[in-house]
Structure 1
């Protein structure tokens, strides 16, 4: 039984396995237990950024706050925040007039991959785990995984929330497992939770 730290790229998990499904009310501790049944999960690091309301999803910030509140009921989980950066860029219009260029507001999440890589390397150098497990499919994390595996000689597993595996991560990781629908289904929080502030409920739209 290995002592495990789990590092979760929240948006990679969301867009790979949760968006458009009934499984967004996901208990990450339960998911880790199901996916790593022979190991002892010491700590779960969750990386995200606070979302803003959009015309197609005006309740997104409130829903996210409720979910983050649910995650904070997990004793061995910590949340690290990045941020969103929005800027205007000129892009080519596809379709009828592909030569036309238009201004588009482009929003990018910044910080999650850097924060995850930093904490992974810190914990590896200080030997805070026997096994590191990443929940992501982001090939940008290939180099920190390589350093931990090849230079520090520590195992790193990947739980992939996407349908296809990153070739770079698959080539470097100790193991890669796909997170599938039955595990998500079995890892839901109860619809009603209680914390120090009182009782709260799963978002109605979820």
Structure 2
């Protein structure tokens, strides 16, 4: 069966990769390992956004190297959303907790604070729209999705119930959200597959350039 894979990059990172030594992940071999051998993967769509260095100055560089590594995979397409950063007033938990330093008294005790809020926009919307579009266009016989984001429940329902296409939900955690699994034809998990599907530390790209795994990964 002709299969397309749609990967929610940030959900995969925060649910399965952050804090692990498995971030140098080959997403194509990962999908081949998780899915049945009878499925032929024609396309892997990876949805992400360019990160900032506000918290970790190395993050943009590390992400850039990883995206270059992904570019060495012939059937992987990278789709970008964007990050929006703005100052926003938000209500504070009472009593106020301070970090570092733990709980502390402020005078006068504030109820609101202006915070720097960063939100990723577009990735999950693009994933859902592209998945539904491809299903109704008949580009593939089967769809696989790596996510545990419940915002994608409705696109999954449309693909399975209205486009009548089988969907395999590949959950990055041990327990899939019920609103997603209820609309999936099959459910699989990434547990046990990450360590065996890593890029080699030093990659030579088709143009002859070299990409080396970040030292802090």
Structure-2-length-normalised TM-score: 0.90
How far is 1:189 from its partner?
0.2
Where in structure 2 are the equivalents of 1:1-206 lying within 5 Å? 2-38=1-37, 39-55=39-55, 57-94=56-93, 96-97=95-96, 100-180=111-191, 182-195=192-205, 196-206=207-217
SS of equivalent to 1:70: helix
Question: What CA distance in whole angstroms lies between the structure 2 residues aligned with 1:202 and 1:112?
Answer: 25
Q: What are the ranges of 5 or more consecutive residues in structure 2 without an aligned counterpart?
A: 98-109
Tell whether the 8 Å contact from 2:94 to 2:111 is kept in structure 1 after alignment: no
How many correspondences in the alignment? Answer: 203
Q: What are the ranges of 5 or more consecutive residues in structure 1 without an aligned counterpart?
A: none
Computing the radius of gyration over CA atoms, which structure comes out larger, 1 or 2? 2
Query: 1 or 2, which has the higher helix percentage?
Result: 1
Structure-1-length-normalised TM-score: 0.94
Question: What CA distance in whole angstroms lies between the structure 1 residues aligned with 2:85 and 2:167?
Answer: 33
Question: What CA distance in whole angstroms lies between the structure 2 residues aligned with 1:50 and 1:175?
Answer: 31
Aligned to 2:103: none
Deviations 1:118-172 (A, max 9, x none): 1111111111111100000111111111111111111111101123311100111
Tell whether the 8 Å contact from 2:170 to 2:189 is kept in structure 1 after alignment: yes
